[in-house]
């Protein structure tokens, strides 16, 4: 069980650290034009992170005793997952695929202004907040305590990434325009 949790935690760290360092390098040394290579690598670490979380959920199912019936935890978990995935897809569609993979770090001239449509009308960062409900939902559906812990860690890690890498970048981009 601990090996699966460690894999999920290390996968999340690989994701946020690789993406964070690569994006900071682009910002510090200027656009390199290597967006396609970055996008392939980022997609790999992001997909590995997702697989690690699902594997953790399946390997540690029924490790969380809840005072509600199993069908109720499955229903609530499914609702959270639908809301999370739906919000994440809505936000990604609103931003476009280039923003989803941080293309504006590589090609700042393509960066649009602040977004206030789609889910961004209601929440300033729907992808990293509401968009993470599916991880909590899946942990609840399979009743996995390690997956719940990994969900909290994953969201804290991506919010830290946002505060240290993305937000300062966007502030610099929009201050100069």
> Tens digits of per-residue pLDDT, 63-102?
999 999 999 999 999 999 999 999 999 999 998 877 778 9
Q: What is the mean pLDDT of the chain?
A: 92
Residue 104 pLDDT class (50, 70, 90 cuts):
confident
Identify the band that residue 108 occupies on the pLDDT scale cut at 50, 70 and 90.
confident
User: What are the pLDDT digits (tens) for 128-167?
Assistant: 999 999 999 999 999 999 999 999 999 999 999 999 999 9
**Predicted pLDDT at 105:** 87
The whole model's pTM is what?
A: 0.91
Q: Which two tokens stand for residue 67?
A: 């005072």
Q: Could you read off the pLDDT of 21-43 as tens digits, one per residue?
A: 999 988 887 777 788 899 999 99
Picking from 165, 157, 160, 150, the residue whose alpha carbon sits closest to that of residue 51 is 150
Q: Tell me how far apart the alpha carbons of residues 170 and 108 are, in angstroms, rounded to a whole number.
A: 10
Residue 176's pLDDT is what?
53
């Amino acid at each position: 069980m601990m090996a699966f949790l460690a894999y999920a935690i290390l996968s999340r760290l690989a994701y946020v650290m690789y993406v964070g360092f690569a994006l900071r390098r682009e910002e510090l040394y200027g656009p390199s034009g290597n967006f396609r290579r970055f996008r392939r690598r980022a997609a790999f670490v992001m997909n590995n992170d997702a697989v690690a979380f699902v594997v953790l959920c399946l390997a540690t199912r029924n490790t969380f005793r809840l005072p509600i019936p199993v069908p109720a935890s499955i229903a609530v978990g499914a609702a959270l997952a639908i809301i999370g995935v739906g919000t994440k897809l809505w936000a990604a569609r609103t931003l476009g695929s280039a923003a989803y993979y941080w293309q504006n770090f590589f090609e700042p001239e393509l960066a649009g202004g602040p977004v206030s449509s789609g889910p961004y009308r209601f929440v300033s960062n729907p992808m990293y907040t509401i968009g993470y409900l599916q991880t909590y939902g899946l942990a609840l559906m399979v009743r996995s305590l390690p997956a719940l812990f990994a969900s909290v860690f994953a969201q804290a890690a991506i919010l830290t990434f946002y505060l240290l890498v993305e937000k300062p970048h966007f502030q610099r981009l929009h201050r100069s325009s």
